[in-house]
Amino acid sequence: MIGKASPPAANPLRRTLRAIRDLASRLPQRHQSLTVIVGMAFVTAILPLVVLAPPLNGFGRQNDWLDGFANAGVFVLLAMGLNVVVGLAGLLDLGYAAFFAIGAYTYAYGASPFSGLDVPFWPMLLVGAAVAMVFGLLLGAPTLRLRGDYLAIVTLGFGEIVPVVFLNADTYTRGTNGISGVYQPVLPIVGNFGFGNPMPYYLTMAAIIAVAMILLYRLQDSRLGRAWMAIREDELAAASMGINTVTTKLLAFAIGASTSGLGGVFYASKLSVVSPDQFGFVISFTVLAMVVLGGMGNIWGVAVGAFVIYELQSQGLKQLNSFFGGLGLPPFHLGPLTVDLTSINFLEYQFLLYGLALVGMMLLRPEGLFPSRRRRAELRDEADAGAANEELVQA
């Protein structure tokens, strides 16, 4: 109701942004899949060219960028999956990395010298997603009846347990050493995905994201999607409207988990090693920050948010490092622990920035950078809604 009528914007920039947002949201739902395909194809085609232009070409070669983009894609996938749980269904999952780990280990079992198996990558994508989904159901079935904040803590506990199990069940997981030498994907015609050549990974990731995005959009607009949002906004009301809240929440959980598993399979195949220490709370937290900052409930917003945040943390902060590093001043001139400007690592402040962004976002713009309209309406409390209405009236 707030979004439909465009209030006169204070400045042209805001007006343009609003116009773009409206345009994007008005794309006919019938053609949504097509829009995603065209959009992803466009982005996929243009990104490798963009990084050739200054100043980006100064920060790294095209291959470095594509390698980073493929890594970022993993987080885009994770964020889109968590968005189903947090953004659409309104359940706080703080152990999301556990499903990522399960997906990654599933692939490592299916295709590594450790198990002796060599199942091709493509079916393993589905297997990884399915296994993660099963674990999502196993965890969700007993716990989703709990109140929302209890669920947060249960998932947090689960996220802590899973790496401990991978670490200590060393007969089955090779413990702390992890499983190394995990096979890389093979395409029927193109052949092996090499380490030095990130392009196949980049394209594969783009395709996976496109497919996941289409499926998620379709889910969101389905009966199930509407049920998720109904639960998010008022669980009691949703239940009294005849929605089976437990099953509906369970499905959100399972779909989120399977998307995470998908990301895990890709991650394992690209890094070629899985070990328990790669899947800690930091991953869960980073993905949550991406979802919140991107705009809970908005699929493409979350995807863009994840991509931007990943690139900022892996490239942006690094550029600050090399900027100050470039100023010269050899370190260690004042004793081994005196840190001079050269050795300040801005990457270290990544989590401080996340923390500030989360708090600031919740206080000032809880709907995220790219809000979903319905979510925005919900997250703004009455006072804000009133103010917005006043704005409308004055117009």
Contacts of other proteins in 302-341 (CB under 8 A): 314, 321, 330-333, 335-337, 339
Site residue total, other proteins (CB under 8 A): 86
Q: Which is nearer to other proteins, 11 or 382 (CB)?
A: 382
| Single residue of 129, 288, 290, 299 touching other proteins by CB under 8 A | 288
Chain residues 360-389 in contact with other proteins, contact rule CB under 8 A: 362-363, 366, 378-379, 381-382
| Single residue of 259, 278, 298, 372 touching other proteins by CB under 8 A | 278
Residues 6+ apart with CB under 8 A from 116: none
CB 270 within 8 A of CB 183: no
Q: How long is the chain?
A: 395
CB of 46 to other proteins, least distance (A): 21
The helix/strand/coil state of 222 is: coil
Q: List alpha helices for the chain, DSSP H.
A: 12-26, 32-50, 56-59, 62-82, 96-110, 121-143, 148-168, 170-173, 199-220, 223-233, 235-240, 245-271, 281-294, 299-311, 317-326, 350-364, 373-379, 382-394
Q: Is 61 in the site for other proteins (CB under 8 A)?
A: yes
Region of residue 340 (left: phi > 0; alpha: psi -120 to 50; beta: else): beta
Sign of the C-alpha dihedral, residues 97, 102, 103, 109? Answer: positive
Q: Is 298 in the site for other proteins (CB under 8 A)?
A: no
CA dist 37 → 24, 40, 376 (Å) = 14, 5, 26
Q: Which is nearer to other proteins, 24 or 384 (CB)?
A: 384
CB of 10 to other proteins, least distance (A): 23
Q: Which is nearer to other proteins, 125 or 179 (CB)?
A: 179
Pairwise CA distance, residues 375 & 89, whole Å: 11
**Residue in 330, 241, 260 with CA at minimum distance from that of residue 95:** 260
CB of 48 to other proteins, least distance (A): 14
Helix 281-294 vs helix 62-82: crossing angle, to nearest 10: 80
348: its two tokens: 């270290």
CB of 355 to other proteins, least distance (A): 3
Q: Around Cβ 42, how many Cβ atoms within 10 Å?
A: 10
Q: Which is nearer to other proteins, 242 or 330 (CB)?
A: 330
Give the 3-state DSSP-derived string for 229-295, with helices as H, strands as E and coil as C.
HHHHHCHHHHHHCCCCHHHHHHHHHHHHHHHHHHHHHHHHHHHCEECHHHCCHHHHHHHHHHHHHHC
Q: Which is nearer to other proteins, 124 or 232 (CB)?
A: 232
Q: Which is nearer to other proteins, 105 or 213 (CB)?
A: 105
Chain residues 218-257 in contact with other proteins, contact rule CB under 8 A: 236
CB of 43 to other proteins, least distance (A): 21
CB 148 within 8 A of CB 280: no
CB of 103 to other proteins, least distance (A): 15
Report the amino acid identity of residue 116.
G
| Distance, C-alpha 25 to centroid of its chain | 21
Chain residues 336-365 in contact with other proteins, contact rule CB under 8 A: 336-337, 339, 343, 345, 347-352, 354-359, 362-363
Chain residues 141-180 in contact with other proteins, contact rule CB under 8 A: 142-143, 146, 148-150, 152-154, 156-158, 160-161, 164-165, 167-168, 175-178, 180
CB 89 within 8 A of CB 220: no
Q: Kindly indicate which of the ranges 1-9, 125-133, 213-221, 267-275 contains the residues binding other proteins, using the contact rule CB under 8 A.
A: 267-275
Chain residues 104-133 in contact with other proteins, contact rule CB under 8 A: 112-114
Q: Which is nearer to other proteins, 27 or 52 (CB)?
A: 52
CB of 20 to other proteins, least distance (A): 26
Q: Is 196 in the site for other proteins (CB under 8 A)?
A: yes
Chain residues 26-45 in contact with other proteins, contact rule CB under 8 A: none
Q: Which is nearer to other proteins, 21 or 365 (CB)?
A: 365
| Single residue of 134, 273, 308, 388 touching other proteins by CB under 8 A | 273
